[in-house]
Amino acid sequence: EAGVAQSPRYKIIEKRQSVAFWCNPISGHATLYWYQQILGQGPKLLIQFQNNGVVDDSQLPKDRFSAERLKGVDSTLKIQPAKLEDSAVYLCASSPSGTTHGYTFGSGTRLTVV
């Protein structure tokens, strides 16, 4: 099966600019996750979707971050405006409903804010 697709792979922006990341999960996977992984740390969940509804966004900095999953398939994560501390790898993962099967991760987008 095709994996989780993410784009772009790399992005460099200046602080206060905006940026968007795209994720296409595995076909049929109802649950989609966005994680932020800062260098040297474990991934931190930003938001979890079940189909096109938000299940958990408690750790999403909503003043600057937004995410949507239109039609319950693809998802975009946006940062506006970016700060230096947003430099990280942004990982998308998907799983069948219930998540007992494990999560399949994309390769991530490495964001550098200068």
Partner 1 sequence: AQSVTQLDSHVSVSEGTPVLLRCNYSSSYSPSLFWYVQHPNKGLQLLLKYTSAATLVKGINGFEAEFKKSETSFHLTKPSAHMSDAAEYFCVRGGYQKVTFGTGTKLQVIP
Print the binding letters for residues 7-36 with partner 1: x by CB under 8 A, - otherwise.
--------------------------x---
Under the binding rule (CB under 8 A), the answer on residue 50 touching partner 1 is no
Residue 105 binding partner 1, by CB under 8 A: yes
53 touches partner 1 by CB under 8 A: no
Question: Which residue in the set 48, 49, 69, 113 belongs to the binding site for partner 1 (CB under 8 A)?
Answer: 48
Residue with Cβ nearer partner 1 (50 or 76): 50
3-state SS string for the chain: CCCCEEECCEEEECCCCCEEEEEECCCCCCEEEEEEECCCCCCEEEEEEECCEEEECCCCCCCCEEEECHHHCCEEEEECCCCHHHCEEEEEEEECCCCCCCCEECCCEEEEEC
Residues that bind partner 1 (CB under 8 A): 33, 41-45, 48, 56, 91, 93, 95, 98-108
